[in-house]
Amino acid sequence: MTNLVAQLELIHKAGASHLPTAAAAYESAAAGVTGVSPPASGDAWESANSAVNHILIESGENVALAGDVLRLLAFELAEQDGETGALLDKIGLEEVPSLGPDGWSDEED
Amino acid sequence: MADLEDIDTVLSRVSGDGYIERINGKIDDLMEKLREGDAALTAEGYAPGDGGSPWGSTDHLGETISDLVSIDPGSFEGPITAYSAAALLLGADLMHDKAIEAVSPDTYPSETVTQYMEKAHKTLAGDGTPADPGWTGDSATSFEEDFAKYFLGPGQTVVNQRWMINSLQTIMEAHRAVYARTRNDVEDLLDKALEAAGMADDLTPGGTAKFMVTVVAAVVAISAAGATAPAGAATWPVLAATTSAAASVLGAVPADDPQPYDLQACCCYDLFFSVQGAANKLKGDRDDREAEVTEALNEFTSQVTSGSTREKLVGPVVADSGGDSPINWDGDNADLDDGYADQFEPPG
């Protein structure tokens, strides 16, 4: 029998760590592209870099959103099975964090 | 493409301050020989009344030639490496032109988007063993099939994004080639002119000295952009090689064969004006090539910002079975759609 709480911890980790890190990699790639400053024909390059930057930023936002979904999912599934306390113990939190417009309550400054 | 020297060889010869020092020496030598060869040619020349370019001025000709080589192709290295590094961050290794990626081996990231996505995906999909059979159900399947799969190697979203950035990198390399070939052509012009001028009064009557204009072939590198379709690409319902931005660029900038240019070398007087004409031709050809690179760049931008292509470059977003976001917002608090969670079936 697979340990349900262990599986939920993995889902939470994917949502709280792996996917946000992938989203951050997109941000880095986007910043790298938009920071390119060629020696000539600057305007055309700026337009192209800006277009690519926005695409990569949007991809990163979509990946970050997927992270939010998985994190919410882990807590939702834990609640359905009465394992919220066990999951919180496993991931080292005292209470279920909330997701607001500025991000997760346990990640705010 | 006939008689076109490898661009890497050209780049190594014409990049950096060493080239400028060498070329300035050759310009000075040539102008001095031209003045020595014909008294009608002077440093200042003769200023026309209309304020136009001075006639017979070796200083002006020297400045014209210097302007042609003012941009160092070596200064494109930073931008090219930046594109390479950005592409590498995305992952999907083995999907792309290794020659392009090899530009920045020192910037290889320890982990990439595809590797992080693989870790996330594996938590849901499991590894298929009894100990880790993975989650099933409609929502789990949708998460994998309609979202995560596109970002895993060879997930087509990442492959498309790599094409996108590699296309930029390749256009930048072509742009660099325009300035490298121009510098090379200028040095060839100066060498041939110096050789002819060195004969002074013994210049062959009616003689010519041939040099090659290769800048017209400078954008040939674009033909190699993104031409390699990744294995398995056809199985993914997104950009195909024939419709990708990179592929569309392929036909936009055809390269010409190098063109011979005959310098009139019968005397220093004619040689001066022949070199002047050659410099003007080089400037025109270089500007034409650069305009074509800019056109390719604008076409690229148009392609990647068009609706359907842009969607395939951005990739999918997590959605529920109805295609909507599984996250519900109640004021400032987000919650997961109950139906979405209910459609996950836990590992047995």
How many Å from the N-terminal Cα to the C-terminal Cα in chain A? Answer: 40
ipTM surpasses cut 0.85: yes
Do the Cβ atoms of B146 and B316 come closer than 8 Å? Answer: yes
Place of tokens 């930023």: A57
Chain A: nearest CA to B334, how far in angstroms? 5
Give the mean pLDDT of chain B. 79
> For residue range A29-50, what is the model confidence (pLDDT) as tens digits?
999 998 888 888 788 999 999 9
User: How far from the centroid of its chain's Cα atoms is residue B327's Cα?
Assistant: 41
User: Which residue of chain A has the CA closest to B133?
Assistant: A2
Q: pLDDT value at position B23?
A: 96
Q: pLDDT value at position B50?
A: 78
Can you give the pTM of this predicted structure?
0.86
Beta-carbon separation of B116 and A11 below 8 A: no
Range of lowest pLDDT (A48-62, B19-33, B254-268, B311-325): B254-268
How far apart CA A99 and CA A90 sit, in angstroms, is 20
Range of lowest pLDDT (B12-16, B145-149, B165-169, B332-336): B165-169
Range of lowest pLDDT (A3-17, B120-134, B333-347): B120-134
Beta-carbon separation of A77 and B344 below 8 A: yes
| pLDDT over 80 (residue B223) | no
User: Which residue of chain B has the CA closest to A65?
Assistant: B318
User: Which residue of chain B has the CA closest to A43?
Assistant: B294
Task: Read off the pLDDT band of B159 (50, 70, 90).
Answer: confident
Give the mean pLDDT of chain A. 92
Chains A & B: contacts with CB separation below 8 Å: 188
Share of chain B above pLDDT 70, in %: 77
Residues of B in contact with A15 (CB under 8 A): 120
Greater pLDDT, B325 or A107? B325
| pLDDT over 90 (residue B30) | yes
Look at residues B48, B167, B162 and name the one whose alpha carbon lies nearest to residue B113.
B162
Task: Read off the pLDDT band of A62 (50, 70, 90).
Answer: very high
Left, alpha or beta for B91 (phi > 0: left; psi -120 to 50: alpha)?
Answer: left
Task: Read off the pLDDT band of B99 (50, 70, 90).
Answer: very low
The mean per-residue pLDDT over the stretch B303-308 comes to 82
How far apart CA B17 and CA B331 sit, in angstroms, is 62
* B154: preceding bond cis by omega (within 30 degrees): yes
User: Among A55, A70, A84, A87, which would you mutate to test the B interface (most chain B Cβ atoms within 10 Å of its Cβ)?
Assistant: A55
Degrees, nearest 5: CA angle B296-B302-B305 = 140
Name the residue among A11, A22, A55 with its Cβ closest to that of B123.
A11
Range of lowest pLDDT (B50-64, B129-143, B235-249): B235-249
Share of chain B above pLDDT 90, in %: 28
